[in-house]
Amino acid sequence: MDVTADSLFEAAAVAVRAFREGALVEELPVPGTELRITVSPVPVEHRVRLQRVEQWAQTGTAKSPVEMLRRERVRELLGLKTEAVR
């Protein structure tokens, strides 16, 4: 599936949301699911477990307002509680 995102974790969250809302896969992703993400136009593949995406979105200190917004966007896409990131 092709998605447009500003970060690796947002791309993962957009894909997971699409999987959850549609009939694209037989089994829905769980925290241990490894997601393979390729960045274009120069193909670079990243592998990240859904658990790591959720962890990043919910914990840690945002280093900038942009990072805070990115974490909030990923939490929203994954349907996670929108708690403030410090």
H-helix segments, the chain: 8-21, 50-58, 65-78
Residue 58 pLDDT: 92
Residue 73 pLDDT: 92
Per-residue pLDDT of the chain (86 residues; tens, 9 = 90+): 888 888 899 999 998 998 888 867 778 888 998 989 988 888 889 999 999 999 999 987 888 999 999 999 999 999 998 655 44
Q: Which of 12, 5, 70, 69 is nearest to 40 (CA)?
A: 5
Residue 86 pLDDT: 47
Residue 10 pLDDT: 93
What DSSP state is assigned to residue 29?
Answer: -
- Over residues 13-35, the pLDDT tens digits come to 998 998 888 867 778 888 998 98
Residue 59 pLDDT: 86
